[in-house]
Amino acid sequence: MSAGTVLVMSGDAIHMDYYSVLGPIDPQLPKPNGGYVPALGYLKKYAELMDKANKGTLNTAEMTYLCSKFDPAELYKYEHAQKLSVYLLEQRLTKYKFRNWKRTQRRKKPVTLAMKKGRAKGIAEVLNDTDTWHSHGHGISMAVLRSQKINLKIEDFGKDKDLSRNIRDYWALLSDHMKKLGAPGVIHTKGWYKHLSWAR
């Protein structure tokens, strides 16, 4: 989920089963009283209020809110956070996931770098679309990721009983280890391990 989805797109292949999920990549902002809100929510609401202002239908309460709550510099920062999340996914898909994509699946046409970048950007924009997912915590299943909306090639490890059991055993061990450490997550690569802390 979230940044984890960007990390997944940095691999040569994506392995999931029916229970696995990825998530939207829209940037999140911490609230003063705790929790997070989508940065794109501010941008969408600002655009909505500006549209009403241009049409002369903005009421007094909305005008007051628009003037007191929306900082142009903050909105600029949110726009770039959105662009960065799309850019990161576009770069990683092109460089890693699509590295060995040489020909199109149906027509067997040669795949160019421009095609890879275009396909990657399209996927990134869908995963960044708050109108589609409604919530940053929305789990996106393998079936949805494979559908025409996103059209990602996913390897189903559930079809391999030994691999599936090994992954489940590894996950159980890792989850137990994280709970004992009080860590929200870990990064584990071949020959390297790092548990994350709650401190920022």
Q: Over the stretch 115-149, which tens digit does the pLDDT of each residue have? A: 999 999 999 999 999 889 988 889 999 999 999 88
Q: Where are the beta strands (DSSP E) in the chain?
A: 15-16, 21-22, 28-30, 36-38, 140-141, 155-156, 186-189, 192-195
Give dist(CA 13, CA 96) in Å, integer: 8
Tell me which long-range contacts 33-42 makes (C-beta under 8 A, separation of at least 24): 36/136, 38/130, 38/136, 39/78, 39/81, 39/82, 40/78, 40/82, 40/128, 40/130, 41/130, 42/70, 42/74, 42/75, 42/78
Asked if 80 and 168 sit in the same domain, the reply is: no
Asked if 95 and 169 sit in the same domain, the reply is: no
Asked if 45 and 96 sit in the same domain, the reply is: yes
16 contacts 157 by C-beta, under 8 angstroms: yes
Asked if 53 and 149 sit in the same domain, the reply is: yes
The count of structural domains within the chain is: 2
Output the pLDDT for position 154. Answer: 94
pLDDT band at 200 (very low <50, low <70, confident <90, very high): very low
Please give the model's pTM, rounded to 2 decimal places.
Answer: 0.80
Domain residues for the domain of 190 are: 160-200
Report which DSSP code applies to 153: -
Asked if 119 and 186 sit in the same domain, the reply is: no
Asked if 122 and 164 sit in the same domain, the reply is: no
Neighbours of 58 (CB within 10 A): 16
pLDDT above 90 covers a percentage of the chain that reads 52
Asked if 166 and 94 sit in the same domain, the reply is: no
Beta bridge partners of residue 194, listed in sequence order: 187
Asked if 167 and 199 sit in the same domain, the reply is: yes
181: enclosing H helix or E strand: helix 161-181
18 contacts 141 by C-beta, under 8 angstroms: yes
Radius of gyration of the chain (CA): 20
Q: Which tokens sit at 92?
A: 């990683």
Asked if 68 and 167 sit in the same domain, the reply is: no
Q: What average pLDDT does this structure show over 86-96? A: 92
**Residue 199 pLDDT > 70, yes or no?**
no
pLDDT band at 198 (very low <50, low <70, confident <90, very high): low
**Residue 18 pLDDT > 50, yes or no?**
yes
37 contacts 29 by C-beta, under 8 angstroms: yes
Asked if 26 and 52 sit in the same domain, the reply is: yes
Asked if 172 and 137 sit in the same domain, the reply is: no
Give dist(CA 13, CA 143) in Å, integer: 16
Asked if 101 and 38 sit in the same domain, the reply is: yes
Q: Which residues 6+ apart lie within 8 Å of 195 measured at CB?
A: 177, 178, 181, 183, 185, 186
Give dist(CA 144, CA 156) in Å, integer: 13
